[in-house]
A and B are shown apart, each in its own frame.
Chain A
Amino acid sequence: MVYDDTLSISVNGEHRRILKGLTIADLALELGLEPTKVAVERNMEIVPRSTLAEVKIEDGDDLEIVTFVGGG
């Protein structure tokens, strides 16, 4: 078996491969997002913003990252 240090995850419905060991805050920053301006759901569960820098992403995670946009 080939050693692979990446994880397969889904972010906003798109498949992605990321390095093992990243937290959600790490991923947000890597994506160019300001962690304080977004909310994150991981496998349908809200991730409290105060823990974004602690929660490690796991293989197969399904992440939704949302923010406020214009609306009526």
Chain B
Amino acid sequence: MNVLSKVVGEDSWSVAGRSFTSRLIVGTGKYKSFEQNAAAVEASGAEIVTVAVRRVNIADPGQPMLTDFIDPKKIVYLPNTAGCFTAEEAIRTLRLAREAGGWTLVKLEVLGEAKTLYPDMIETLRATEILAKEGFEPMVYCADDPIAAKKLEDAGAVAIMPLGAPIGSGLGLQNQVMIRLIVENARVPVLVDAGVGTASDASVAMELGCDGVLMNTAIAEAKDPVTMARAMKLAVESGRLAYRAGRMGKRRYADPSSPLAGLI
């Protein structure tokens, strides 16, 4: 094994006992077509995709389904509760998801209101407790609040997923200090979920020490989603490497890179 492969080598992470190599989780909403969606997932290298649970279209049952394009046997489907505004709605959705997919690893999000899609942490915590008791393994979308994050963890969240900025906003990480505090205090994986707009945002999240990043709109609404998916893969990997490498200290003034001795 050469030096490089030793450094870059095995760097998997695990959530609820399942191990993954890719630290990028991608959503499957907002794509122009299932084909484009599948190509973006492939380019992203993601091993987990989020999916929503919705009523089947009885009027047109023959239309293509997500599962025809992204194989749940190869890519882990992480059912979400997007669009749920109470603990009860979210729990009902995930009970159905568990029956549809047969798995207990889920993404919980309980939203406070439609304009900001900011999480309602009281309902989120209540839902986490109930879901954990029912045998679910919830990865939980939450506010960038270290105290709430700790409570979620104690309630049975298998991953803490603070927002970097509002869902779909693409504003990048607005509260790096708090994300970092959450990372330092957590015993479960921390993933930035929501707010990433471009590749550098994903790198920032990883450089803070997050275990991964979850995104949808940044890829789906890029002019070329497949190329952006590739960019995000590289950004997450390079951010992770930079975190592992340990960045240099910051100085207030210059420090020359060339030796001062021997100047002519």
Interface residues of A (CB under 8 A from B): 11-14, 31-33, 37-41, 44, 46-49, 64-72
Contacts and interface: CB of A to CB of B under 8 A. Distances in A.
Contacts of A39: 53, 96-97, 99-100
B222 to A, nearest CB: 14
Interface of B: 27-31, 34, 37, 50-56, 58, 61-62, 65-67, 72, 77, 79-80, 82, 92, 95-97, 99-102, 167-168, 216-217
Contact of A68 (B27, B53, B167, B216): B53
A48 B25 CA distance: 29
Contact of A72 (B58, B77, B216): B216
Contacts of A68: 51-53, 65-67, 72, 77, 79, 97, 100-101
B28 A71 contact: yes
Q: Is the interface of B mostly helix, strand, loop or mixed?
A: mixed
Given A31-B58, A33-B58, 16 more contacts: A13-B55, A33-B56, A41-B96, A65-B56, A65-B58, A66-B54, A67-B54, A67-B100, A68-B97, A69-B53, A69-B65, A70-B34, A70-B37, A70-B52, A71-B80, A72-B27
B214 to A, nearest CB: 8
B232 to A, nearest CB: 14
B158 to A, nearest CB: 19
Contacts of B27: 70-72
Contacts of B37: 70
B55 A72 contact: no
A37 B67 contact: yes
Best-surrounded residue of B37, B95, B99 (most CB of chain A within 10 A): B99
Contacts of A65: 55-56, 58
Contacts of B102: 49
B126 to A, nearest CB: 19
Given A66-B55, A67-B56, A33 B100 contact: no
B123 to A, nearest CB: 19
Contacts of A71: 27-29, 50-52, 54, 80, 82, 216
Contacts of A70: 27-31, 34, 37, 51-52, 66
A-B interface, 10 closest residue pairs, ranked by CB to CB distance from nearest: A71-B52, A72-B216, A72-B27, A32-B61, A39-B100, A70-B28, A39-B99, A68-B51, A12-B55, A39-B96
Nearest to B54: A69
B58 to A, nearest CB: 5
Contacts of B99: 39-40, 46-49
A42 to B, nearest CB: 11
A44 to B, nearest CB: 8
A71 B107 CA distance: 11
B157 to A, nearest CB: 19
Nearest to B51: A68
Contacts of A12: 55-56, 58
Interface centre among A33, A65, A68, A72 (most CB of B within 10 A): A72
Nearest to B100: A39
B58 A14 contact: yes
